[in-house]
Structure 1
Amino acid sequence: MDTQRVHQSRYGGEFRWALPVALVLCLATPGVGFPEEPGSTNPPVSPAPAESAPTPPPSQVPKSRLNWETREGRSYVIPGVEIIGYLILLNWYDRHHTDPKDVYRTNGNTFWKHLTDSKWVIDNDQFSTNQFLHPYSGTIYYGFARSAGLNFWESLFYTAAGSFLWELGGEKTAPSINDQVATTFGGSFFGEPLFRMASLLLEYGGEKPGFWRELGAALISPPTGFNRLVFGNRFDAVFPSHDPAIFTRFQIGGTLTTSSHNVSDTVREHGGIADFSFAYGLPGKPGYTYSRPFDYFDFHLTAVTSNTFESIDTRGLLIGTSYESGNSTRGVWGLYGSYDYISPQVFRVSSAALSLGTTWQTWLSRAVALQGTALGGAGYGAAGSIHRTGDRDYHYGADPQALLALRLILGDRAMIDLTGR
């Protein structure tokens, strides 16, 4: 794990096909939903999923088929086998197609040595490898478990186990502390939004989602698509969203830097940009509850021509409850999990964190609403440094953090976003 080009080559393909996430969602998911207006008895604007057949009573559902409400039909064995198979295939590919190939020529002795006699280290791989590609691999482990019917916490455990197995047996280099943390927590906090968005895309397709929705869901969460394809009826039950209020925004444009000094010659001063935001479970919808991790989450992705993924930010409510104040304010508060990858061309910062905070919406008038999130907590992450530290141009450590995000919605005419970290 101390050879930069190794990981860049190994995971390079994932950059090319992860980008359709934003496009698929914006084309196939309904537009914008807001919580109920004050004094209104009408349901929120958020469109309901297409009508589907009601969930049969448990006695009528074959035990071998997944039922999300009763959890019958879930499998602890299948995702374990899938994760091990994925790791074997990844190692096989790397030892034949990734230089230096000798790094991946591992065996049982490698695993045992790392387990009993190796010191865990902070590795020297590239920032994008450690802070994006490892968490994205974590979403694969997580998705195998989640789409097999396991809950959030069980899937997080499988993600940790998958990362642990790779660190011990996937490479000859010493196991990495930062990879284990980023893959486990970044992968889970990133993987759950992907799983939820893929499931929502399928849910809006009714009882029998069409080909394009199945394909879109597979692009968003490949393990979900894999399990639905390979195991057929076993895992074809769509995860129930409980019809959350949602917000979707997609923007495209260009960037132009008017002045730059003392920066690398590789910095591009103009280019294209695509920006995607998705909020799930906005507070205030009657009957919607927050009993499951990530029943509320916010997902944001920015892609640019100069730097591929410039930022990926997710935050979701792990444990919490709803509240209200008067007739105009509704919200949720509790413990949040977040994953942030922010890498414009001139600085880089990334972390996986736990925070206490709240998300709320206040109606300032019948047409004007203020939405906001305030968080404070700590995590483990990496940040770019002005001067090189050892073999890396970034460093690791604990990172206390705070966030305030505000969105002012002026009816259907305008919207103003402001975020401070």
Structure 2
Amino acid sequence: MNTKLILAALFSFSALMGQAQDDFRKTHNIGVGINHHGADSTLYSSGNVALFGDVDTLRGVQIGNFSATVRRQLRGVNIAGVVNAVGSDMRGVQISGVSNLLQSGNGVQVAMFNNVAGEGFRGIQLSALSNISLGMKRGMQIGGTNICSSYMRGAQTGFYNYADTLNGSQIGLLNVCVAHPRGVQIGFINYSRDTLAHKIGLVNVNPNTRIDIMTYGGTATKTNLAIRFRNRSTYNIIGVGTHYFGLDKHFSGALFYRIGQCFNITPRFSLSGDLGYYHIESFEENSNSKPERLFSLQARLNADLILGNYTSLFATVGYGDTRYYNHARRYRQRAIFEAGLAWRLSRNRHFYTAADDEYGLKGYGADTTAFAFDDPMRQKKHPWRAALEAFGINVGVQFFDRYVMNEEFAKISWSSIKNNIKTGFVWDNDQFSTNLFAHPYHGGLYFNAARSHGMSFWESVPYSFCGSLMWETTCEIEPPAINDLMATTFGGVCIGEVTNRISNLVYDDRLRGFPRFMREFIGTLICPIKGLNRLLYGDAWRVRSSYYKYHDYESIPVHFAASVGYRYLADNGALFRGEGNPYIQFNLAYGDPFDREQTKPYDYFTADLQFGLSGNQPLITGVHLLGRLWSMPVTISNGADMVFGLFQHFNYYDSEPVKNGSDIVPYRISEAASIGPGFICRFPKVGNLTKLEQRIFVDGILLGGSLSDYYHVIDRDYNMGSGYSVKASCLMEFGKVGSMSFGADYYRIFTWKGYENKDVANTNPIYLNAQGDKGNSSLLVLNARFCLALSKRINLDMKVSNYWRDTHYKYHDKVLSDTFDCSIGLQYVL
């Protein structure tokens, strides 16, 4: 860590308040306290209360409403609502709502989302999500995620731990220690390169562990999918089974764990024995004849025959004793017969990661004379053409709604337009997907009408606003909606710029025939307005020998991954009562956030899209876009980098009640118009850890939507309002093995304009003009994702997410709910 890292966090936040950033040695303490300046202009403080606290030396207590920074020396307590930063020589305590940054120190850090400490830190870090300490000599990390890269003596406690060198102990759900732990690993899964380390857990893994995917059936469960971790003479099995025989003909399920001992008879044949515990769900209401859940203790003898380098055949005989949970009375006992196949995972093939080529496609198109944006003939801007096209979009959609769909709202007249202007803006009652996704997408069409006619990012923003304003006031007989204007403008800018840039990845004017047709077709699907203009102006079929590419991968690298698999959505948090369906997911990282040259808006953005292939659930279940508008990168002397910036966010979560379950909607929330500060930290590569990034974002939600338990008017069952969100994530890549990431998103939306004091019974719903139930709603999303390399391009992709909703109503009882979803699939990395 370096002082520049510490100071950058505070001064970048201060940039939003209009303060200068060019002189890091200048103190900006916006507050009051017991302060005095020394002869050398050093600011000493015995007590300081500030909006932005910033002192050189502190011997007392500093409280910053937004941030609190000590540059030189701290002997006390440093408290901030968002960020703490200490430059060096800390002995006291840091407390922050979001993040702590420290260089050197002997104290204690406390933060809700993240701790970062470097150099001589010895104290204790406490965090709800993650801790990062680049060399903790002693002490302890306690939090959701712990990372100590290179040498640590203390103990780590959390649901995930990583330590490149550890002489202490690790306690957590998942423990990873690369080099020589002298202590003990206690957790659900333990990994260590040192096979002599003491490991106490359900699964113990070392570099020699053989990992098999098992599929089998038999008398205990009809179908099973399991993972076997086999060491020299012991093994562990974790799996899930369906249709537990003996309950009834309906679907039921089992979650199980087995531990055993194996004996190699020949190089290809082995015998083994194990004991297992099964948790069984019947999905029925508890009764004397049909218990809701059971547990089973089972013993097995197994025979394994290796068929090839990656496959084996096995058969099992055993015995199971199944009992009730509440009184342990026997439900059933019987013999077990099973057989199946096992596939070994290859862990020796090359994994294509940041260590080889950080963004996968770097180097493609290095000839800078080939790019369309360098063509002198395409430099001219056409603002009036763009305006005419935005006008035409509204006319075309309005005519389609009126004369093809025969929609009542589209039967406009001069009288309806006059009435809309006279009535003014209201909050409408369209359904969730219409207001918070379809309208932003529509705004992207206006935006790209300008972008495809040569307008810059900022020059294109007014087209989204004016296009939406025209539609709201003239193209419907219903009064104009303020929420539509906001969602279409802000969300349209985000979706429009993302689709504009993604479509540039597809086009190549050198091609002919079917390859050219497919690229034009895909590009038009991604960005319809650009595709339409390419048809109108002949670019769709014009073959060029120069200026033929539309994206420079050398300047702006791109990383793309697509996943296909099976997703399980729980009903009200039930382990085996939910709905499964296939899914498709796309992940795109565009640009390098630490690049000092490519700094225009959206030269860096990320896009994560998830589609559910189920008739019961929405087609679009998740859309998560993050675009950088402005940034200030800082290079750290020891190889770590940090960039602070202003980011635009678009997040959309949608679901429906699960099939044949309760009527509870698992989750539904959106931030269609959101912007705020954030920082991204990239730490040096150490050992097997080839990439480590930490991200923190705090943003204001201008318009968002959250599920309502009481408001049901026309098509709306959600509240709208404004608020804030905080997001934190940690990304780790482990060379040839794979990668993992952890994240936490917290959304808080306040509904200010309720309906409770209105005459609802005698009010036309379209003129009700309410945001929903007065109150506030919060959603906390925790997710973990693991990608295990199967080959150079193919990964095993596993993800689990938990959703906690807490909604407080002013005139109704509050509602708490929680649920989860999990998925497993194959990921292709391009």
Specify if TM > 0.5.
yes
CA-CA distance at 1:154 after TM superposition:
1.5
Distance 2:744 2:485 in 1: 29
> 1:207-218 maps to which residues of 2 (within 5 A)?
210-218=516-524
The structure 2 residue matched to 1:145, chosen from 439, 445, 450, is 450
Amino acid at match of 2:639: S
Partner-residue secondary structure (3-state), 1:85: helix
Task: Tell whether the 8 Å contact from 1:139 to 1:187 is kept in structure 2 after alignment.
Answer: yes
Q: Does 1:225 align with 2:514?
A: no
| Partner in structure 1 of residue 131 of structure 2 | none
Higher RCO (CA-CA < 8 Å; seq separation 6+): 1
Aligned positions of 1:4-403 closer than 5 A: 34=354, 46-50=361-365, 54=369, 65-67=377-379, 73-99=380-406, 101-115=407-421, 117-202=422-507, 205=508, 210-232=516-538, 239-241=550-552, 243-257=555-569, 260=572, 269-284=579-594, 289-305=597-613, 306-345=617-656, 346-351=666-671, 352-365=673-686, 367-368=688-689, 369-379=691-701, 380-388=703-711, 392-403=716-727
Unaligned 5+ residue runs, structure 1? 1-30, 68-72
Compare the two structures and name the one with the higher helix fraction.
1
One-letter amino acid matched to 2:601: P
Gap change, CA 1:87 and 1:206, over 3 Å in 2: closer
Output the amino acid matched with 2:478: T
Q: Distance between the aligned counterparts of 2:520 and 2:539, measured in 1?
A: 14
Q: Distance in 1 between matches of 2:448 and 2:707?
A: 30
Q: Deviations over 1:184-220 (max 9, x none)?
A: 1011111111111111222xx3755833222221111
- Is this contact kept in 1: 2:626–2:650, CA < 8 A? yes
Cα gap change, 1:261/1:208 in structure 2, threshold over 3 Å: closer, same or farther? closer
So what's the TM-score if we normalise by structure 1? 0.79
CA apart distance, 1:336: 0.5
Which letter maps to 1:125? D
> 1:156 aligns to what SS in structure 2?
helix
Structure 2 vs 1, CA of residues 207 and 331 (structure 1 numbering), >3 Å: closer, same or farther? farther
User: Could you tell me whether the CA contact under 8 Å between 1:50 and 1:206 is conserved in 2?
Assistant: no
One-letter identity of the residue aligned with 2:592: L
Aligned residues: 368
Determine if contact 1:144/1:223 at 8 Å carries over to the other structure: yes
Normalised by the length of structure 2, the TM-score is 0.41
Amino acid at match of 1:98: M
The superposition leaves residues 220-275 of structure 1 with CA deviations (integer Å, 9 ceiling, x where unpaired) of 1111111122113599976555632322221111123465489xxxx961111111
CA shift, 1:338, in A, is 1.0
Separation of aligned partners in 2, 1:98 and 1:130: 19
Aligned-partner SS, 1:310: strand
Which 4+ runs in 1 deviate beyond 6 A? 234-237
Amino acid at match of 1:321: M
Contact 1:51 1:206 in 2 (8 A): no
Once residues 105 and 246 of structure 1 are traced to their aligned partners in structure 2, the CA distance between those partners, rounded to angstroms, is 46
Partners of 1:393 and 1:233 in 2: CA distance: 45
**Compared CA separation, residues 363 and 214, structure 1 to 2 (3 A):** farther
Greater shift, 106-115 or 317-326, is seen at 106-115
2:484 partner amino acid:
D
RMSD: 3.1
Structure 1 pair 45–389 and aligned structure 2 pair: CA distance change class (3 A) = closer
1:126 Cα deviation from its structure 2 partner = 0.4
Counterpart contact for 1:372–1:405, Cα < 8 Å: yes
Kindly indicate whether the alpha-carbon contact (under 8 Å) linking 2:568 and 2:578 is maintained by their aligned counterparts in 1.
no
Letter in 2 for 1:404: A
Whether the aligned pair in 1 keeps the contact of 2:555 and 2:598 (CA below 8 Å) is no
Looking at structure 2, the residues matched to 32 and 327 of structure 1 have their Cα atoms a distance apart, in angstroms, of: 26
Distance in 2, matches of 1:44 and 1:88, equals: 42
**Residue type of the alignment partner of 2:556:** P
Supply the AA of the counterpart residue of 2:386.
P
Q: Is the 8 Å Cα contact of residues 32 and 46 (structure 1) preserved in structure 2?
A: no
Question: What secondary structure does 2:708 align onto?
Answer: strand
Bigger Rg over Cα:
2
Q: 1:33 to 1:165 in 2, by over 3 A?
A: farther
Asked if the contact 1:33–1:47 (Cα under 8 Å) also holds between the matched residues in 2, the reply is no
Equivalent residue letter for 1:225:
G
Amino acid at match of 1:144: A
CA distance in 2, matches of 1:349, 1:201: 32
1:360 maps to a residue whose letter is C
Residues 570 and 578 in structure 2, CA contact (< 8 A), matched pair in contact too: no
Q: Structure 2 vs 1, CA of residues 259 and 337 (structure 1 numbering), >3 Å: closer, same or farther?
A: closer
The one-letter code sitting in structure 1 at the alignment partner of 2:413 is: N
TM-aligned CA deviation for residue 360 of structure 1: 3.2
Aligned-residue offset at 1:282? 2.4
Per-residue deviation, residues 93-132 of structure 1 (Å, max 9, x unmatched): 1112335x332121344334423x1220000000011011
CA–CA distance in 2 between the matches of 1:398 and 1:197? Answer: 30
Aligned AA for 1:77? W
Structure number having the greater strand percentage = 2
Is the CA contact 1:135–1:187 (under 8 Å) kept in the aligned structure 2?
yes
User: Residues 129 and 107 (structure 1 numbering): CA distance in 2 closer, same or farther, change over 3 Å?
Assistant: same
Letter in 1 for 2:440: P
Secondary structure of 2:709's partner?
A: strand
CA contact (8 A) 1:281 1:296 kept: yes
CA contact (8 A) 1:317 1:336 kept: yes
1:132 match: secondary structure: helix
2:412 and 2:474 in contact (8 A); partners too:
yes
Q: Distance in 1 between matches of 2:353 and 2:500?
A: 20
- Kept in 2: contact 1:122–1:176 (CA 8 A): yes
Shift of 1:168: 0.8
Q: 1:134 to 1:419 in 2, by over 3 A?
A: same
